[in-house]
Amino acid sequence: MILRKIYNPNLFFSQFQILNELKFAKIEKTDRCPTAKIKRFVLPLTVDLTQVQNGEDLLYKNRFSVNVKSVSSTRKGIEIQLIPEDLVPETLEFPRLNYEYSGKKYRYLYGLGNEYLHPNKILKIDTESRDVVVWKEPGHFVSEPIFVARNIHLPEQEMEEDDGVVIFTLLNTSPYNTVQLVILDGKTFKELARIKFLTKGEVVEGFHGIFVRRNHQIIRY
């Protein structure tokens, strides 16, 4: 079993620590935001623990098709100690994928990256090759990316996982009354279109979002 988890190593153990770090009093003292990275854990499910010595790495008993480098899974008495690895060096927040692959093996991941206090770039991560494609525009903040599959009615064997578009909003750092909707090609990450709005008042950064198809009457999560 391969698990991928987004976490901040300094805030991993307590939700209360996370909330404490996000207080305005602390954020205002820095130009950087607490960052998170995507970690990969590997847990062998077919290993007979009675055949594994204490302290032995279970991964040596298995062969994986994924590109695993420094991850380990070690027997410690009656427990298994998992040590993850960084999947990519970039920071990542708000991870999304093609939800036609939800609960299945997937390859591509989309999310937010940040170099400063606010997220300022969109990432596409290949979890097999570890390649990262970045889209950014200076002087703007980005919102959570949403992947929309091009054709969900094709047979599964004919579907391509990244065949679709990635949608997100783009806010000017100044003035705050300009907001844009940007659409990228899911495969190439090239811009396909954008719509620009001028508002009467300031627009704050977005948080979560969903895409609802025309024939969807009920959305449940």
- Helix, strand, coil percentages in the chain from 3-state DSSP, rounded to 5: 10, 35, 55
Do 43 and 79 contact (CB within 8 A), yes or no? no
Which residues does the annotation place in the binding site? 208
Annotated binding site for Fe cation: 208
DSSP letters spanning 125-172 = EETTT--EEEEE-TTEEE---EEEES-TTS-GGG--TT-EEEEEEEEE
Q: Is the dihedral of CA 182, 132, 128, 221 positive or negative?
A: negative
Query: How is residue 57 annotated by DSSP?
Result: B
